[in-house]
Amino acid sequence: MNRIYNFNAGPATLPLEVLKQAQDEFLNFDNTGMSILEISHRSPSYDEVNNQAEATMKELLGLGDDYQVLFLQGGASTQFAMMPLNFLGEGKVANYILTGAWSEKALKEAKMIGQTHVAATTEDGNYVRIPSMDEIKLSDNAAYVHITSNNTIFGTQWQELPSFGDVPLFADMSSDMLSRPFDASKFSLIYAGAQKNLGPSGVTVVVARRELLEAAPANANIPTMLRYQTHAKKNSLYNTPPSFSVYIVNLVLQWLKANGGLEGAQKRNEQKAKLIYDVIDASNGFFRGHAQADSRSRMNVTFRLPSEELEKQFVAESKAAGLGGLKGHRSVGGLRASIYNAMPLEGAQALADFMESFMKKNG
Ligand SMILES: *Cc1c(COP(=O)(O)O)cnc(C)c1O
């Protein structure tokens, strides 16, 4: 089997155990004589998948009955519009903390719908850091504050997640959901496109306080599919769900639970990130990290080399060595190693070793 270490930002690597289990039960799911791809989303077998995925997500996050998990479509990008459509009422102001391209996109959608306010931004210097709490200035009448917990493109991450008292806190956790323990009860709404840290593309996970979902204006002019209540009332089964994607997310959740939950994930993620950052820090400037050290992401490590020529060579030679997907995003340039939950320690070690030998040859 010629599987590579896959450092792509998303869709991204999945746990091998999960892929194998999906392969094993691909043709005959749960003794139905059908593939999960072929069964009805109204069948007891799919109900079990849907319910188990919701229950395990809440268990891992330490959340109870006051929260609901939704499995939606349209990607995290559709959430950018759904949040203000549902929760940005007349006279209210949606607050955004800008830490990268994805938070900018979230703000852009909210602007089309109502009043917005930029509570802080670190755009100056091309988003190398997360703002400190005293840089953040909320507006009056805040409907909610929105943050991006991990900035996939720039490689920065909130080290400590903030909270703002009574103002509902919303977070795009697309690229670090379930990568570490945190107090999820501080958040009113969390969402994540699954294709980075949770599973395959095609499903977006939303975790929200029931009270918030129920307070959304039910009769406002919001199209049915864009109302959270539509999906909440029907337990994510209002229309045909992306059943295969939800099934894989459920397998990933079981895998995570069996491997020490969020504490286990955090321990592994810190070890992996340290291996790579240590090489960067000991390289005397041969490798230059994009993120400021105190804002570094444990999910996406972004770095440059002394020249674009060397960066191209690095991408080509690493690929030949079985390390894929390391080319950085065009807005940062250079390299990006995405080391989500499913990247094994051996993968991070292989990359660290490759970086050292590349530097020896070319430094
Ligand atoms: C990838 C990504 C998105 C976009 O997700 P889609 O599911 O493709 O819409 C949004 N936010 C963050 C932080 C991301 O990493």
In a domain, 12, yes or no: no
Query: Which domain, by its residues, includes 302?
Result: 261-362
Q: Residues 128, 250: one domain?
A: yes
Q: Which of 172, 176, 272, 327 is catalytic?
A: 172
pLDDT, tens digit, for every residue of 78-120?
999 999 999 999 999 999 999 999 999 999 999 999 999 999 9
Q: Residues 151, 252: one domain?
A: yes
Residue 147: per-residue pLDDT: 98
Structural domain ending residue among the three candidates 214, 241, 258: 258
Is 158 among the catalytic positions?
Answer: no
- Pocket of ligand 1 contains residue 245 by CB under 6 Å: no
In three-state form (DSSP H/G/I as H, E/B as E, the rest C), the secondary structure along the chain is CCCCEECCCCCCCCCHHHHHHHHHCCCCHHHCCCCCCCCCCCCHHHHHHHHHHHHHHHHHHCCCCCEEEEEECCHHHHHHHHHHHHHCCCCCEEEEEECCHHHHHHHHHHHHHCEEEEEEECCCCCCCCCCCHHHCCCCCCEEEEEEECEECCCCEECCCCCCCCCCCEEEECCCCCCCCCCCHHHCCEEEEECCCCCCCCCCEEEEEEHHHHHHCCCCCCCCHHHCHHHHHHCCCCCCCCCHHHHHHHHHHHHHHHHCCHHHHHHHHHHHHHHHHHHHHHCCCCCCEECCCHHHECCCEEEEECCCHHHHHHHHHHHHHCCEECCECCCCCCCEEEECCCCCCHHHHHHHHHHHHHHHHHHC
Atom of ligand 1 nearest to the CA of 173: 13
Q: Are 346 and 302 in contact (CB under 8 A)?
A: no
- Pocket of ligand 1 contains residue 10 by CB under 6 Å: yes
- Pocket of ligand 1 contains residue 174 by CB under 6 Å: yes
Q: Residues 237, 272: one domain?
A: no
Q: Residues 194, 310: one domain?
A: no
Q: Which of 318, 348, 325, 344 is nearest to 16 (CA)?
A: 344
Residue among 152, 154, 179, 189 to mutate when testing ligand 1 (max atoms within 8 A of CB): 152
- Pocket of ligand 1 contains residue 157 by CB under 6 Å: no
pLDDT, tens digit, for every residue of 313-344?
999 999 999 999 999 999 999 999 999 999 99
Q: Residues 207, 287: one domain?
A: no
Residue 110: per-residue pLDDT: 97
d(CA 151, CA 128): 10
pLDDT at 188 over 90: yes
Is 196 among the catalytic positions?
Answer: yes
Q: Residues 242, 287: one domain?
A: no
pLDDT at 179 over 90: yes
CATH number of the domain that 302 lies in? 3.90.1150.10
Residue 217: per-residue pLDDT: 73
In a domain, 1, yes or no: no
Structural domain ending residue among the three candidates 258, 291, 324: 258
Q: Residues 193, 270: one domain?
A: no
Residue 302: per-residue pLDDT: 98
In a domain, 43, yes or no: yes
Residue among 104, 175, 204, 332 to mutate when testing ligand 1 (max atoms within 8 A of CB): 175
- Per-residue burial over 100-119, b = 16 or more CB atoms within 10 Å of its CB, e = otherwise: bbbbbebbebbeebbbbbeb
Q: Residues 97, 109: one domain?
A: yes
- Pocket of ligand 1 contains residue 154 by CB under 6 Å: no
In a domain, 195, yes or no: yes
Atom of ligand 1 nearest to the CA of 195: 7
- Dihedral sign from CA coordinates of 106, 107, 108, 114: positive
pLDDT at 221 over 90: no
- Pocket of ligand 1 contains residue 100 by CB under 6 Å: no
Tell me the residue length of the chain.
363
Atom of ligand 1 nearest to the CA of 152: 15
- Dihedral sign from CA coordinates of 195, 199, 201, 206: negative
Q: Residues 179, 142: one domain?
A: yes
pLDDT band at 125 (very low <50, low <70, confident <90, very high): confident
Q: Residues 34, 84: one domain?
A: yes
pLDDT at 25 over 90: yes
Q: Which of 176, 196, 272, 327 is catalytic?
A: 196
Q: Residues 290, 235: one domain?
A: no
Output the CA–CA distances (angstroms, integers) from residue 105 to 111, 135, 219, 271, 330, in the order listed. 10, 21, 27, 32, 17
**Which of 182-186, 212-216, 299-303 has the least mean pLDDT?**
212-216
Structural domain ending residue among the three candidates 258, 291, 315: 258
In a domain, 249, yes or no: yes
In a domain, 8, yes or no: no
CATH number of the domain that 232 lies in? 3.40.640.10
Mean pLDDT (the chain) is 97
Residue 27: per-residue pLDDT: 98
In a domain, 293, yes or no: yes
In a domain, 238, yes or no: yes
Nearest alpha carbon, ligand 1 atom 13: 174
- The arithmetic mean of pLDDT across residues 299-322, rounded, is 98
pLDDT band at 219 (very low <50, low <70, confident <90, very high): low
Is 166 among the catalytic positions?
Answer: no
Q: Count CB-CB contacts under 10 A for residue 52.
A: 16
Residue 218: per-residue pLDDT: 59
pLDDT, tens digit, for every residue of 4-22?
999 999 999 999 999 999 9
pLDDT, tens digit, for every residue of 32-44?
999 999 999 999 9
Q: Residues 241, 314: one domain?
A: no
Domain count within the chain: 2
